[in-house]
């Protein structure tokens, strides 16, 4: 199995702030951080949704055996240094919903020309009826595994982002269990 550098960086970022063992962790951005437009960049830095939730431009989403925890991080450094805890919810009470999105952008800080940014929008709905917390992250294998682990732990229905991989894994498992001729 390939080394998961994203998981390692996110876990290192929260190592001094989490007492339970980390099951999965992922660096995520505020709403607008992944769409690649100038408006998205401004929304991720100054947007109302980000301010109300207490998010920063970079954050770390953590799954332990008992809680889902979201930390806001300072903008500089890698792994991102944790600034404060935004929220912590028992795994049985939180719901997660994930949507795969993409946005064409003529603005790209890393390339000249246009690009299509593919990312996940993750909505965490707390049990107390409070406002949902929305974060974004690039579509990567590490992100899918973290989303899947949180869905499984919280009892949330599988999203389209993880459902296809779940079906493929089930087919592979069934093929391994099939009797040989």
pLDDT tens for each residue of 153-173: 999 998 888 877 666 666 666
Token code pair at residue 105: 């952008």
Domain boundaries, the chain: 5-176
pLDDT at 40 over 60: no
Q: What is the mean pLDDT of the chain?
A: 81
Those residues whose C-beta lies under 8 Å from the C-beta of residue 71, and which sit 6 or more positions away, are 13, 14, 17, 59, 60, 62, 82, 83, 84, 85, 86
Phi and psi at residue 84, in whole multiples of 5°?
A: -160, 160
Positive or negative: CA dihedral 108, 109, 112, 116: negative
pLDDT of residue 55: 86
Residues 16, 30: Cα–Cα separation, whole Å: 23
Q: Which two tokens stand for residue 64?
A: 């332990």
- Residue for token pair 């989403």: 61
d(CA 52, CA 34): 19
- Mean pLDDT, to the nearest integer, of 146-156? 94
- Tell me the pTM: 0.79
Identify the burial level of 178 via C-beta atoms within 10 angstroms of its C-beta, where 0-12 means exposed, 13-18 middle and 19 or more buried. Answer: exposed
- The angle formed by the CA atoms of residues 44, 74 and 27, to the nearest 5 degrees, is 70
- CATH class of the domain comprising 5-176: mainly beta
Q: What's the pLDDT at 63? A: 97
**Per-residue pLDDT band at 78 (split at 50, 70, 90):** confident
């Amino acid at each position: 199995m390939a080394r998961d550098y994203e998981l390692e960086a996110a876990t290192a970022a929260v190592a001094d702030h989490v007492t339970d063992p980390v099951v999965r962790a992922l660096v995520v951005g505020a709403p607008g951080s992944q769409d690649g437009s100038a408006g998205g960049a401004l929304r991720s830095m100054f947007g109302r949704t980000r301010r109300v939730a207490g998010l920063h431009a970079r954050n770390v989403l953590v799954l332990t055996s008992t809680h889902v925890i979201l930390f806001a991080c300072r903008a500089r450094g890698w792994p991102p240094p944790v600034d404060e805890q935004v929220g912590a919810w028992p795994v049985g009470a939180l719901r997660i919903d994930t949507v795969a999105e993409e946005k064409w952008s003529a603005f790209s800080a890393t390339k000249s020309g246009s690009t299509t940014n593919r990312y996940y929008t993750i909505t965490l709905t707390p049990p107390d009826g409070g406002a949902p917390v929305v974060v974004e992250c690039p579509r990567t294998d590490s992100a899918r595994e973290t989303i899947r682990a949180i869905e499984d732990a919280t009892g949330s229905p599988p999203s389209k982002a993880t459902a296809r991989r779940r079906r493929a894994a089930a087919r592979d498992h069934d093929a391994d269990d099939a009797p040989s001729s």
